[in-house]
């Protein structure tokens, strides 16, 4: 992983700020001959798009994506396919309304990257936070849409599983519910309760954190690698690279610490297609390599730092002051992180699929005779 690139064989490089002319990404290493239309990418982007409920920012970002390269419509195939060369995706920034920056130009907003960008670079883009804006994640979602096409047998889905202190009840878990509420939540009962809760948070000018769970089904055994290229390590890095993420878990996650060895290790039984696991504490990854069970990742998103409550801070000249971040912000930025988490899962898996195929010549495990 370099600063703005991730992945080895399926490589994603993103660029762009929220208040510049455009943002986008370059996806390099995609296999050739994969059908790809802009509409498929657009569908994923539309899931992430803000302004879809009162719980996400009211900024209007049409986020219309163009494919600039890497595809070709061969007359004999009669459809657009990838060529194996870099796929550049571009999203123009249209909603750059003029805005008063005097409040934040000379103040460091607590919880934001204002102070650290200034210290690192000696300059910061105070119009929209530059690269620290969550808008960068649109490029990830677009790349993730391509990654999904690379591993069509893998189903990747995400759900909000905790908002503030309120967790879902996994007994109610139903993937079909995710699109039925404004929270991407698989527990309809929790979603209903959260609506009232989040309205309160929003009206208080406050914000709240969340936990997202992303599950990949259909990953064959064998993806990943033993040491620093562990599937789990790359997933941890991918999720932690999303704005505002402060924790990442695979399978049991932090709770694994409280278990005993007899509780935690997933026992096995013989099955028709080889061994199967009786439980999935591991979250589908053993020794950094997928075991054929669903890959389960959770990550925590901190509460939106831009809030309507004044907070103590300092000016860029090191003088005490207060700041209150006006503007159109999400009371729970974690909601929109659901499709982003899915996209990162897709990109990491696509990359490991290609890496595994490169080293072994197989798409998955050796199987059972």
- Helix axis angle for 337-360 and 231-240, nearest 10°, is 150
Number of residues engaging its own copies in binding (CB under 8 A): 167
CB of 93 to its own copies, least distance (A): 9
Query: What is the rounded distance in angstroms from the CA atom of residue 355 to the CA atom of residue 189?
Result: 41
Taking residues 155 to 174 in sequence order and writing x for each that binds its own copies by CB under 8 A, - otherwise, the string is: -------xxxx---------
Q: Which of 53, 96, 119, 153 binds its own copies (CB under 8 A)?
A: 119
* Residue 257 touching its own copies (CB under 8 A): yes
Comparing CA positions, the residue from 147, 175, 167 lying closest to residue 294 is: 175
Q: Which of 46, 51, 62, 115 binds its own copies (CB under 8 A)?
A: 115
Do 158 and 215 contact (CB within 8 A), yes or no?
yes
CA dihedral 259, 262, 266, 270 (to 10 degrees): -170
Place of tokens 């993806």: 223
Q: What are the phi and psi torsion angles at 33 (to 5°)? A: 70, 20
CB of 53 to its own copies, least distance (A): 19
CB of 17 to its own copies, least distance (A): 6
Do 322 and 310 contact (CB within 8 A), yes or no?
yes
* Residue 282 touching its own copies (CB under 8 A): yes
Q: Would you say 145 or 236 has its CB closer to its own copies? A: 236
CB of 212 to its own copies, least distance (A): 9
Span from 26-34, 41-49, 52-60, 190-198 in contact with its own copies (CB under 8 A): 26-34
* Residue 240 touching its own copies (CB under 8 A): yes
Q: Which of 158, 292, 294, 339 binds its own copies (CB under 8 A)?
A: 292
Q: Quick one: tokens of 110? A: 């607590």
Q: Would you say 144 or 253 has its CB closer to its own copies? A: 253
Q: Which helix (H) or strand (E) holds 338?
A: helix 337-360
Query: What is the rounded distance in angstroms from the CA atom of residue 262 to the CA atom of residue 245?
Result: 32
Q: Which of 62, 110, 218, 327 binds its own copies (CB under 8 A)?
A: 110
Show contacts with its own copies in window 31-70 (CB under 8 A).
31-33, 66, 68-70
CA 227 to chain centre: 24
Comparing CA positions, the residue from 279, 251, 253, 255 lying closest to residue 265 is: 279
Collect all residues with Cβ–Cβ distance below 8 Å to 303 and sequence separation of at least 6: 206, 207, 208, 209, 332, 333
Q: What are the angstrom distances between the C-alpha of 138 and each of 24, 107, 125? A: 8, 27, 19
Q: Which of 47, 48, 49, 131 binds its own copies (CB under 8 A)?
A: 131
* Residue 219 touching its own copies (CB under 8 A): no
Show contacts with its own copies in window 177-206 (CB under 8 A).
201, 206
Angle at 100 between CA 23 and CA 331, to 5 degrees: 65
* Residue 94 touching its own copies (CB under 8 A): no
Q: Would you say 47 or 356 has its CB closer to its own copies? A: 356
Span from 48-56, 151-159, 183-191, 268-276 in contact with its own copies (CB under 8 A): 268-276
Q: Which of 52, 85, 155, 172 binds its own copies (CB under 8 A)?
A: 85
* Residue 135 touching its own copies (CB under 8 A): no
């Amino acid at each position: 992983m370099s600063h703005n690139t991730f992945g080895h064989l399926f490589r994603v490089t993103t660029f762009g700020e929220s208040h510049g002319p455009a943002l986008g990404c370059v996806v390099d290493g995609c296999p050739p001959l994969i059908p790809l239309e802009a509409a498929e990418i657009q569908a994923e982007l539309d899931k992430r798009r803000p302004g879809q409920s009162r719980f996400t920012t009211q900024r209007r970002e049409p986020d219309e994506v163009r494919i600039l390269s890497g595809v070709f419509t061969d007359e004999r195939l009669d459809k657009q396919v990838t060529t194996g060369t870099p796929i550049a995706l571009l999203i123009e920034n249209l909603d750059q309304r003029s805005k008063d920056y005097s409040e934040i130009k000379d103040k460091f907003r607590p919880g934001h990257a204002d102070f650290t960008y200034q210290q690192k670079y000696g300059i910061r883009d105070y119009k929209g936070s530059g690269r620290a804006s969550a808008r960068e994640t649109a490029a990830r979602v677009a790349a993730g849409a391509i990654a999904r096409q690379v591993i069509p047998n893998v189903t990747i889905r995400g759900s909000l599983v905790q908002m503030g202190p309120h967790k879902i009840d996994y007994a109610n878990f139903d993937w079909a519910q995710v699109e039925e509420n404004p929270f991407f939540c698989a527990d309809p009962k929790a979603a209903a309760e959260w609506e009232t809760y989040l309205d309160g948070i929003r009206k208080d000018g406050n914000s709240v954190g969340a936990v997202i769970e992303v599950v990949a089904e259909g990953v064959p055994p064998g993806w990943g690698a033993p040491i620093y290229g562990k599937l789990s390590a790359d997933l941890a890095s991918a999720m932690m690279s999303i704005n505002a993420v402060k924790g990442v878990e695979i399978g049991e996650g932090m709770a694994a610490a409280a278990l005993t060895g007899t509780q935690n290790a997933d026992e096995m039984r013989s099955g028709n297609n080889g061994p199967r696991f009786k439980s999935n504490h591991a979250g589908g990854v053993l020794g950094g390599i997928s075991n054929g069970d669903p890959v389960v990742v959770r990550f925590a998103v901190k509460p939106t730092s831009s809030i309507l409550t004044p907070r103590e801070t300092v000016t860029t000249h090191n003088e005490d002051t207060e700041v209150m971040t006006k503007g159109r912000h999400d009371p729970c930025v974690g909601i929109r992180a659901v499709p982003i988490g899915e996209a990162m899962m897709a990109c990491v898996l696509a990359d490991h699929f290609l890496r595994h195929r490169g080293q072994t010549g197989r798409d998955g495990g050796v199987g059972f005779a």
